[in-house]
Homo-oligomer: A and B are copies of this chain.
Amino acid sequence: MTDSDTTIGQLRQLVNDFVDGRDWPQFHTPKNLAISISIEAAELMEHFQWIEPAESRAVADDAEKLAAVGEELADVVCYALAMANELGLDLSTAVADKMAKNERKYPAEEFRGRFGSDDPNPPVG
């Protein structure tokens, strides 16, 4: 399974089979899943807690660190997939819609290399 040939649907199915096979949907309230995404996101952040920006970029070149970070990122994504399953949400549609919204809000010509002073928290950058 690689990113070039795996659909979101296939990954959702993988997660769904695991959860269903253990009779765990009873615990999968959207509230608990949102909490779980946050918990895993914090475990991901722990890998970068005290290091400098340049050091954090160097993780990509360290096989061991990259694997550890990849595992935490996978945890975040697994819970996001579980949430999509629980809510019957199409993730690809949601992502495409949000990126289209971002395109309109941040035209490339205006926002090249900057965020704009009126918005300190731009999307995906």
A residues adjacent to B (C-beta < 8 A): 1-12, 14-15, 18-19, 21-24, 26-32, 34-39, 41-54, 56-57, 59-60, 66, 69-71, 73-84, 86-99, 102-103, 106, 108, 111-113, 115, 120-125
Q: 23 A-B residue contacts at CB 8 Å?
A: A3-B93, A10-B92, A19-B124, A22-B111, A22-B125, A23-B113, A26-B113, A29-B54, A30-B59, A32-B50, A32-B53, A35-B45, A38-B42, A39-B45, A39-B46, A41-B42, A57-B86, A70-B87, A73-B80, A73-B84, A74-B91, A74-B97, A82-B125
Task: Please name 15 further chain A to chain B contacts, defined as beta carbons within 8 Å, in addition to the given A30-B48, A78-B124, sorted by A numbering.
Answer: A4-B7, A6-B9, A18-B103, A22-B108, A24-B113, A29-B57, A31-B51, A35-B45, A38-B41, A39-B121, A42-B42, A49-B121, A60-B86, A80-B80, A82-B125
